[in-house]
Amino acid sequence: DAGVTQSPTHLIKTRGQQVTLRCSPKSGHDTVSWYQQALGQGPQFIFQYYEEEERQRGNFPDRFSGHQFPNYSSELNVNALLLGDSALYLCASSLEDRFVEQYFGPGTRLTVT
């Protein structure tokens, strides 16, 4: 049973650039959530996608956007990168009828220089 996968594992970008992170949900799951985990902190909710639409959003600026594809995979895009965007970005998947029970991928470590 394939778990949640994310790519790439690590990424280094320069301030002002744009980045795209990818996530494939656990087999059978249809809902994808994204979280940002800064060093030494707990994960913070960015947004959640279901049926290719953003269902809920946390307190993140519009520079953070996402997409969900018909196969339930998802992308997180961040524009105009800031140094403060350096973090571990975690994708979690769940079933729509129990979307709060979330299973996490290994994360993408983004470093902005």
Partner 1 sequence: AQSVTQPDIHITVSEGASLELRCNYSYGATPYLFWYVQSPGQGLQLLLKYFSGDTLVQGIKGFEAEFKRSQSSFNLRKPSVHWSDAAEYFCAVGAEDYGGSQGNLIFGKGTKLSVKP
Among 81, 87, 90, 112, binds partner 1 (CB under 8 A): 90
Distance CA 42, CA 36 (A): 8
Task: Check: CB of residue 15 under 8 Å from CB of residue 82.
Answer: yes
Size of the site for partner 1 (CB under 8 A): 28
Let me know if 88 is exposed, middle or buried by CB neighbors in 10 A (0-12, 13-18, 19+).
middle
Binding mask 3-42 vs partner 1 (x if CB under 8 A, - otherwise)?
-x-x------------------------x-x-x----xxx
Q: Given the complex with partner 1, which of 15 and 101 has the nearer CB atom? A: 101
